[in-house]
Structures are given as C-alpha cells and as structure tokens.
C-alpha cells in the first residue's frame, strides 16, 4: 500500500512533520458532536497545509501569536477587533454569502458591521433621522416588496449611517446627539418607505489597532465607500441586512471590508428646488 503524506492513520501517535494532520485529528474522541468534529478536523487540515506551504518560520509564528494577542487585548464592549479582522480578510462577506443565497431579483445581503444599535426610535414615514444639522440632506424613498412585486405591510426598516464627518453617533457619544442618523420605519399596506437623512460619506474603519496596522503593512487603505445601512424584518420573510451605496464613490471597488455588490449601488440624484438636496430611490425585495 502506498502511503500518502498526512492521511495515514498514525499507528502509535507520535507526531511527525509528515503525519501531523492525521496525528492531531486522531486524538479526537469518538463521541464528539459531528458538526464540531467536521469543522475542527478541516480547520486542522487547512492550518497545517498553510504552515507547510509557506514553511512558516519560528519568528513568523511568534509574530502571529503576538498579533492575535494584541487583537484580543484591544477588544472591549465597544470595540470588536476580531470581527474587524474577519471583515478585512473577506471572511465575514464569505460567511454572509454562503448563508444568504437568494433567488435572482431578491435584494442581496451585505456585512452587518459593528455600528448597529438595537432600540432606535420608531419614526413616522418622511421623518428626519439627521439630528446634528450637518451634511447634505437626502430623501431616501422606495418600497419593500416580495419577489412578485407585491408590497409588504408591517416591514420594520431599521436604518443607520455615519454623519457628515464620517462618524457614527456611538463613536462620538459626547459630540453627536443620541440616535443621530438612526431610526426605525414601519411600512403600511402600500409597502412604501421614506425618510430624510444625509447623503452618506465614505469613512475609515477603526484603524488605530492591530487590524489597521495589518492593512497598512499590506498597502491597503481602511476606507469604506459611502453607504446607508438597512436591516429589514417582516413576518414570513428572511431578514435582510444590507446597505445602499452612493454611486460614483471613489472606494466602491476597494471597500476595506468587501461589502459592495453591484446591485446595491443606488442612484443619488441632485434635486433642484426641493426640500432636500439629494434623492435616492431604492426598492427592497424580500424572500419568504
């Protein structure tokens, strides 16, 4: 029988460079929960393959351990550096894509991000969400509909965006009014929504920690293209977590967290003589 590197069952259990994957995975107990066993065995296999492929040096391994330690140390109730790491490596978007495959025509999901706050005020349709008086006003308008174009009544549309200086209210609790650029809107029988916010601006993700240092050393910028966040929930439909992006933004094709999808780039039209400077029309299509 020919032996294939790393797949032979280790007879004794001593670890060698050649049998590393099989030796580690053979330690797993017999009664491990099946999904956990599958995920961990695959993780070990790919990790070992990676270490072998790049022939990781001792110094590089120590650097990686130090990097992960610092990533953990900077985390707090308000700061989640590990999610930022996942976002900037494209893992968050890949998990999101795998878990939100939708039929053609349905609005696509994108990354949730760290700045959503549960409990934003429920506002009347047409209300203003921008409370700091900064930025260029924009009317956001459209419908929440099903895949056959029928309006969805009672959809809760939770929206949030940065202010004109590129910060969310929670990043500047002493500067911005509470709930600035946030609100919840509930659709009526016609499925229509409308609210007044600002034309969002592009902003850097928090880059003063290990992830920012990683981006800089990889020659990557930390910017996200301008966007409005939406989370839409309606009984009998899949939850939609998405953004609309401002067409023409400089960072549309280099989003630091890979969140842009072509179908989510929305029109932002200049309005002459209206109540707002801009208007953005977008319909959200939910799937059962």
Residue 114 touches ligand BEZ, criterion: CB under 6 A: yes
The footprint of Fe ion (CB under 5 A) covers: 113
DSSP class of residue 122 equals B
Residue 205 sits in the site that holds ligand BEZ (CB under 6 A): yes
Cβ atoms of 162 and 168 within 8 Å: the answer is yes
* Residue 225 lies near ligand BEZ (rule: CB under 6 A): no
113 in contact with ligand BEZ (CB under 6 A): yes
Site for ligand BEZ in 26-85 (CB under 6 A): 84
Size of the site for ligand BEZ (CB under 6 A): 9
Q: How many CB atoms are closer than 10 A to CB 257?
A: 21
Instruction: State how far the alpha carbon of 81 is from the alpha carbons of 102, 112, 147, 212, in Å.
Output: 29, 15, 37, 10
- Spatial CB neighbours of 16, under 8 Å, sequence gap ≥ 6: 23
Q: Which is nearer to Fe ion, 185 or 203 (CB)?
A: 203
Binding piece for ligand BEZ, criterion CB under 6 A, among 68-76, 108-116, 121-129, 147-155: 108-116
Query: Is 257 one of the binding residues for ligand BEZ (CB under 6 A)?
Result: yes
Query: Which of 205, 240 has the CB closer to ligand BEZ?
Result: 205
Q: How far is the CB of 266 from ligand BEZ (least distance, A)?
A: 15
Residue 265's contacts (CB-CB under 8 Å, 6 or more residues apart) are: 244, 245, 246, 247, 252
Residue 138 CB-half CA count within 13 A: 27
- Both structure tokens of 29: 């107990």
Q: Which residues bind ligand BEZ (CB under 6 A)?
A: 84, 87, 111, 113-115, 205, 224, 257
């Amino acid at each position: 029988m020919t032996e294939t590197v790393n797949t032979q069952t280790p007879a004794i259990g001593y670890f060698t460079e050649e049998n590393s994957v099989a030796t580690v995975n053979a330690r797993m107990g017999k009664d491990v929960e099946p999904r956990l066993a599958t995920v961990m065995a695959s993780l070990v296999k790919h990790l070992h393959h990676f270490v072998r492929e790049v022939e990781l040096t001792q110094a590089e391994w120590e650097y990686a351990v130090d990097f992960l330690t610092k990533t953990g140390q900077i985390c707090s109730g308000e700061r989640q550096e590990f999610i930022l790491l996942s976002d900037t490596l494209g893992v968050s978007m890949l998990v999101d894509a795998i878990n939100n495959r939708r039929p053609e025509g349905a609005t696509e999901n994108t990354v949730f991000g760290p700045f959503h706050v549960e409990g934003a005020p429920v506002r009347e349709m047409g209300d203003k969400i921008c409370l700091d008086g900064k930025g260029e006003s924009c009317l956001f308008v459209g419908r929440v509909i099903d895949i056959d174009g029928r309006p969805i009544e009672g959809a809760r549309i939770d929206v949030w965006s940065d202010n004109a200086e590129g910060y969310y209210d929670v990043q500047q609790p002493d500067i911005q009014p509470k709930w600035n650029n946030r609100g919840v809107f509930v659709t009526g029988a016609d499925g229509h929504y409308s609210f007044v916010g600002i034309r969002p601006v592009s902003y850097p993700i928090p880059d003063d920690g290990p992830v920012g240092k990683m981006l800089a050393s990889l020659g990557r910028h930390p910017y996200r293209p301008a966007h409005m966040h939406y989370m839409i929930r309606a009984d009998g439909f899949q939850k939609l977590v998405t953004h609309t992006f401002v067409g023409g933004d400089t960072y549309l094709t280099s989003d630091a967290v890979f969140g842009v999808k072509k179908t989510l780039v929305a029109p932002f039209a200049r309005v002459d003589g209206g109540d707002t400077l801009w208007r953005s029309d977008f319909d959200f299509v939910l799937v059962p």
